[in-house]
């Protein structure tokens, strides 16, 4: 089964990269797709707090850590690698990957690669899309507009956004729906996955006492974001490969 | 007794049982304002007090005014459905309760929001798992749209007991063929009709100091005979309808 690398990034902090990474990992886990994750928020780590057994903190500028991602793909049981890129590090990471031939390898079909680019409400986010576009040829490029924290005060209007978006060949877009603030905070405080929060399980796997209402909000949000994730070609391919592999067995 | 069953729960449960169950919830709602919803909530609270011996807990969603809360100061909470903390207070509070009876007086402006939360959080299933017995009392108004709103709620919450309340003083649209058709589609096998009252009797019912448990205990001996007779008649009519509902008797249109 061909390995898939999914980069989740933005050139700005606080736009919801890690939330989207968590939602994606959650989706894959619920669909029985083995995935591993790299948290480049070095040294503290953000994603690792929610996926201690699945995520590893790395420094993407470190060659040994780059090797951890790229030279292990055909050796691990996981078929998907999610890389949660450090805030402000998207263009830099893409430049590194281009230089060392990773992007070209993906274009050549050695493995699949997708980029989930989370954009925030500022005009700078639109310029980011232009900046990133030069690397995305031949990759699955997805612009994720994040509404999770009710980022509905986008500085740009739809027409401006559409103009920028139209310049991106083969780009897709998804929307990260809004999640009730209190529910979001409680999941964050609990340090559990969205699925475990809904299942009322604590980080150590024991029964928890999370609010029924808040769990309901998270369940609804998960259902909404699942619908967004499912429409991505990279995810469709992963699921198709999984079905094919299961059929082959 | 649980609310969930393969059949519509109304066919297997009685309102007498609801009163005796470990925890029960009566949601009094309408898509329109000023059609006797709060009055009906008050009557429900009084009837529950008469049956159970203690007053139900009341969530009054008319924040900040709290119309019903003024009638039950010691057992009411005025809640703001726009606040998540209050949503948690209502829904989590009910699911975690032991042996309480609840009445939610749902103000018309929050009707849609409340049932969005109800559906989105999966409260129907949660209530079933918690053996929480829920009944929706929908007070229909005089417009066809009100029957449609009732039908929509009934259709989307199949496992929750649903009772239509018709207020004779307000009227309804059931004379219209389309309304009657929608009503029949709801397959309403339980309804309560609030009889029309004289202005004096209605004014008395709406008074914050009037309660039927006190009335039954002859606490208002100074009332004129005619007023007492009318209130007794009203109470008996309500009781009789509740008994009919208990027996699952259908009220033909």
pLDDT for position A44: 87
pLDDT at residue A163 is higher than 90: no
CB A36 within 8 A of CB A78: yes
pLDDT of residue B3: 34
Phi, psi of B134 (to 5 degrees): -115, 135
Interatomic CA distance for residues B237 and B224, integer angstroms: 20
The pLDDT assigned to B7 comes to 36
Residues B57 and B94: beta-carbon distance below 8 Å? no
Cα(B253)–Cα(B250) distance, integer angstroms: 9
Q: Which residue of B has its CA nearest to A219?
A: B121
A156 has a pLDDT exceeding 90: no
Q: What is the ipTM of this complex?
A: 0.85
Q: Which two tokens stand for residue A172?
A: 């897709």
Q: Provide the pLDDT for residue A80.
A: 97
Do A241 and A32 touch, CB atoms closer than 8 A? no
Task: With CA atoms as reference, report the closest residue to B10 among B131, B190, B166, B133.
Answer: B190
Whole-number pLDDT of residue A16? 87
pLDDT tens by residue, B7-34: 333 333 444 544 454 589 999 999 999 9
Residue of B79, B120, B123 to mutate, interface with A, max A Cβ within 10 Å? B120
Q: Considering only CB atoms, which chain A residues are within 8 Å of B121?
A: 212-213, 215-217, 219-220
Question: How would DSSP label each residue in A131-186?
Answer: HHHTT-TTSEEEEEEE-TT-----SS-HHHHHHHHHTSTTEEEEEE----HHHHHH
A53-88 per-position pLDDT tens digit: 999 999 998 999 999 999 999 899 999 999 999 988
The CATH class of the A4-179+222-245 domain is: alpha beta
CB pair distance less than 8 Å for B120 and A217: yes
Please state the domain extents for chain A: 4-179+222-245
Alpha-carbon span B115 to B82, nearest angstrom? 13
Residue A248 has pLDDT above 70, yes or no: no
| Tokens 């061909």 belong to residue | A2
Per-residue model confidence (pLDDT) at position A35: 97
Ranges of chain B with pLDDT below 70: 1-22, 187-189, 242-253
Average pLDDT over residues A150-167: 73
**Nearest-CB residue to B120 (from A181, A211, A220):** A220
Q: Say if the Cβ atoms of B88 and A217 lie within 8 Å.
A: no
Taking the C-alpha atoms of residue B126 and residue B105, their distance in angstroms, rounded to an integer, is: 20
- Strands A112-119 and A140-146 turn out to be parallel
Bond from prior residue into B64 cis (ω within 30 degrees of 0)? yes
Paired tokens of B151: 């039908």
Q: In sequence order, which residues have a C-beta less than 8 Å from that of residue B81 and are 6 or more positions away?
A: B61, B63, B87, B90, B110, B113, B114, B117
DSSP reduced 3-state for A4: strand
What confidence score (pLDDT) does residue A191 get?
A: 96
pLDDT tens for each residue of A186-242 = 999 999 999 999 999 999 999 999 999 999 999 999 999 999 999 999 999 999 998
Identify the structural domains of chain B with CATH numbers, from first to last.
11-196 (3.40.50)
Cα distances (angstroms) measured from residue B62 to each of A196, B68, B72: 35, 8, 14
Decide: residue B181, CB within 10 A, 0-12 exposed, 13-18 middle, 19+ buried. exposed
| H runs (alpha helix) in A36-121 | 47-50, 63-70, 90-99, 102-107
- Tens of pLDDT, residue by residue over A30-40, are 999 999 999 99
Closest Cα of chain A to B82: distance in Å? Answer: 11
Taking the C-alpha atoms of residue B135 and residue B114, their distance in angstroms, rounded to an integer, is 14
Mutate to test the interface with B, among A211, A217, A221, A223 (most CBs of B within 10 A): A211
- Taking only the tens place, the pLDDT of each residue in A10-47 is 877 778 899 999 999 999 999 999 999 999 988 888 99
């Amino acid at each position: 089964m061909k390995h898939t690398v999914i980069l989740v990034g933005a050139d700005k902090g606080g736009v919801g990269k890690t939330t989207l990474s968590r939602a994606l990992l959650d989706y894959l886990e619920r669909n029985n797709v083995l995935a591993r994750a790299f948290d480049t928020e070095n040294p503290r780590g953000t994603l690792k707090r929610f996926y201690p057994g699945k995520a590893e903190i790395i420094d993407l500028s470190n060659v040994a850590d780059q090797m951890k991602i790229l030279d292990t793909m055909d050796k691990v049981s996981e078929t998907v690698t999610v890389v949660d890129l450090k805030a402000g590090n998207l263009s830099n990471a893409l430049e590194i990957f281009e230089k060392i031939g990773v992007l070209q390898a993906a274009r050549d079909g050695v493995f699949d690669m997708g980029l989930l680019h989370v954009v925030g409400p500022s005009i700078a986010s639109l310029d980011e899309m232009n900046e990133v576009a030069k690397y995305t040829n031949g990759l699955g490029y997805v612009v994720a507009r994040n509404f999770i924290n009710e980022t509905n005060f986008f500085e740009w209007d739809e027409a401006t956004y559409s103009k920028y978006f139209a310049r991106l060949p083969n780009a897709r877009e998804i929307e990260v729906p809004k999640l009730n603030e209190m529910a979001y905070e409680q999941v964050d405080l609990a340090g559990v996955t969205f699925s475990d929060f809904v299942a009322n399980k604590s980080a150590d796997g024991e029964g928890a006492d999370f609010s029924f209402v808040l769990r309901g909000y998270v369940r609804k949000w998960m259902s909404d974001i699942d619908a967004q994730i499912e429409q991505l070609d990279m995810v469709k391919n992963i699921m198709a490969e999984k079905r094919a592999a299961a059929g082959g067995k | 007794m649980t609310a969930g069953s393969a059949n519509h729960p109304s066919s297997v449960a009685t309102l007498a049982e609801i009163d005796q169950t470990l925890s029960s919830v009566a949601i009094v709602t309408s898509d329109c304002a000023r059609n006797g919803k709060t009055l009906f909530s008050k009557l429900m609270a009084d009837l529950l007090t008469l049956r159970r011996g203690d007053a139900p807990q009341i969530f009054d969603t008319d924040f900040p005014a709290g119309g019903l809360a003024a009638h039950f100061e010691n057992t009411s909470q005025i809640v703001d459905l726009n606040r998540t903390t209050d949503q948690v207070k209502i829904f989590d509070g009910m699911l975690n309760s032991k042996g309480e009876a609840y009445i939610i007086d749902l103000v018309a402006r929050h009707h849609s929001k409340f049932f969005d939360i109800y559906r989105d959080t999966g409260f129907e299933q949660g209530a079933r798992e918690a053996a929480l017995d829920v009944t929706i009392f929908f007070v229909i108004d005089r417009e066809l749209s009100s029957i449609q709103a009732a039908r929509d709620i009934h259709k989307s919450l199949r496992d929750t007991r649903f009772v239509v309340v018709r207020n004779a003083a307000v009227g309804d649209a059931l004379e219209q063929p389309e309304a009657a058709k929608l009503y029949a589609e709801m397959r309403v096998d339980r309804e309560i009709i609030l009889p029309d009252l004289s202005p004096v009797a209605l004014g008395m019912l709406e008074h914050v100091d009037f309660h039927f448990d006190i009335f039954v205990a002859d606490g208002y001996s100074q009332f004129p005979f005619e007023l007492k007779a009318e209130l007794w008649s009203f109470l008996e009519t309500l009781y009789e309808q509740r008994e009919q509902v208990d027996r699952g008797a259908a009220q033909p249109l």
